[in-house]
Amino acid sequence: MCRGGELFDRIIEAQHFGEDTVGLVAKQMLSGILYMHSNNYAHRDLKPENYLLARDLPIEQTHLKLIDFGMSRKFVPGQAMTTRVVTPYYVAPEVLAGKYDEKCDIWSLGVIFYILFCGSPPFFSQYDGRRGDEDIFKKVKTGKYTFEASEWKHVSSEARKFVADMLVLDAKKRPTALQLLEHHWVVEHIPVFTAVPLSVSAIDSIKDFRQKGKLQKLALNMIAHFVEDEKVTELKLMFQTMDTDGNGTITIEEMKAGLESVGLAELTANLDQTMKALDNDGSGKIDYSEFIAATMEKKTALSYDYVWQVFKQFDRDNNGTINKDELAQILSDGHFSDYGHADGLSKADVEKTIDSFDTNHDGVIDFDEFMAAMMDNRGDLKA
C-alpha cells in the first residue's frame, strides 16, 4: 500500500535532511498526532520505522503515513497510563517510570526530529543488546543530550529550540501538538499551500450525500479509506483550507466560514442537518475521511473495485450476499450481533434497507443490487 518504504530507510540514505524538508515532514507528523490526541488516543510507539512514504518518490513529493497502532490506546485526560511500552532510543523518561500521559508521543517526536536534522539519536550507547538498552534508558532518564557542533553546524538555532522544546524531562512543560504546529520554526518552514475553497462539484456532492441512505453513507465512508490520495488531491486542499486550526477535523464554525467564503451563505441555514449527515461517527465534527466520503465525485467513489472491497467487508460470512444479521451489525456499528437481538429502531433500519436494496425480493442483498443502490440517487433510499 505504501510503496515508498520506511522513513527510517530514507534517513539512512540521506544521513540528514535540510530544514525545509523537515518542516514538510513536521507538519504531517504533528497534524497526525494532534488528530490522535484530540480524539484521546496515544500512539506510544512513534519511530521512523512506523512512518511510511505513500509513494516511491522523493520525500518532498509524497505523503507520510503513520502505521502500527498495536501499542496505541485510548486515554482518559488526567488519568495516567502505566504500561511500560518501551522502544530504545525513542521511549520517554516518564514511560520508563511507569506513569505518563499522551505527552510521551511528543518526546518520541522530539527524538525523531533530532535524528532527521543530524542523522544520529540524542541518546545512544556504545554497547549492544541488553546492556546497550539499559545504558540508553539510563541516559533517557537524565534527559541530558548535546547538539554536537560537527553534526549540527548546518542547523539553525530556531530548529534546535524546536527539538529542545520537545525533549523536556518534565512532561507538563512539553508543548502540545497544536502548540508545536504554531511554533515559530514550524510556521517558517512548513510549505505554503494555496487556499482552495469548496467547489461547486463538492457542494453538489455534499447535497447528494445528504440524500443517501444509512448503508450507502457507511459504504462511502469505507471507500474514503480505500481511495488513493492522488485521486482526491483537490478535496484534500479544500479540507485543509477549512481546517483552520489544523487538528484534522472541521467544526460547524469552520464549515460555515468555508461556505460563506465562496458566496454560499444560504447553505448555512441548514448547516446543522448537513453536519449531522456528514458526521458518520457522531463526534460532532467532520474528520478528513468523512469529508472525502461526502465530496468525492461519483466516478471516483463508485468504481467497481472500491464498491467490491466494501461489499466484501459487509458480507461477513463470505457467502456472496448481505443478510439481515449482517445489516444489523453494520447499521448499529457492531452494537447488535444479529437481527434478533436488535432493538425496534435498528430492526426498522434493517427492514427499510432491505426493502430499498433487495430488488429481487429474496430477503438478502447481492453485489449487483448493492452496486445498483450505490449508483442510485433516489430519495426513497434515505434511511
**115 vs 119: CA distance, rounded Å:** 5
Nearest to 381 by CA among 212, 240, 220: 212
How are beta strands 73-74 and 249-250 bridged, if at all?
Answer: unpaired
Rounded to 5°, angle at Cα 304 from 301 and 308: 95
Helix (H) or strand (E) holding 211: none
Of the candidates 358, 349, 357, 366, the one whose C-alpha atom is nearest the C-alpha of residue 312 is 366
Q: How far apart are CA 248 and CA 271, in angstroms?
A: 19
Q: Where are the alpha helices (DSSP H) in 174-270?
A: 177-181, 184-189, 200-210, 214-226, 233-242, 252-261
Q: Please, is 103 exposed, middle or buried when counting C-beta atoms within 10 Å of its C-beta (0-12, 13-18, 19+)?
A: buried
CB 367 within 8 A of CB 311: yes
Q: Which residue has the cell 481511495?
A: 227
- Decide: 3 and 55 in contact? Cβ < 8 Å: yes
Q: How many residues does the chain have?
A: 383
Scanning the structure block, which residue is given the C-alpha cell 434511511? 383
Instruction: Tell me the CA distances in angstroms from 321 to 84, 240, 325, 335, one per residue in order.
Output: 45, 38, 11, 21
Grid-cell match 461517527, residue found: 281
- Helices 324-331, 214-226: inter-axial angle, 10-degree rounding: 70
Name which of 360, 355, 359, 358 is nearest 382 in CA terms: 355
The answer to whether the beta carbons of residues 364 and 321 sit under 8 Å apart is yes
From the candidates 20, 45, 243, 366, give the one annotated as an active-site residue: 45
56 is catalytic: no
**Do 66 and 51 form a contact (C-beta atoms < 8 A)?**
yes
Would you name the residues annotated as active-site residues? 45
